[in-house]
Amino acid sequence: MKNDTIVVTAKETIDVVKQKGIKRAAIEVDVVTTGTFGPMCSYAYTL
């Protein structure tokens, strides 16, 4: 097994799933990007 990280865009994911099937794609793809460039945050602000 290689220590590579597989990153694809959301649009590219469609082709990967068509070629490999959903189960294989889920195993092989590590990150799916959405292509957003704005700041994103997952924590709540406390006043």
Q: What total number of domains does the chain contain?
A: 1
- pLDDT score of 36: 65
pLDDT at 3: 80
- Dump pLDDT digits (tens) for 1-47: 578 889 999 899 999 999 999 999 999 999 988 866 656 555 555 44
Element (H, E) at 9: strand 7-9
19: left (phi over 0), alpha (psi -120 to 50) or beta: alpha
pLDDT of residue 47: 46
Q: Which domain holds residue 10?
A: 1-47
Position 1 scores a pLDDT of 57
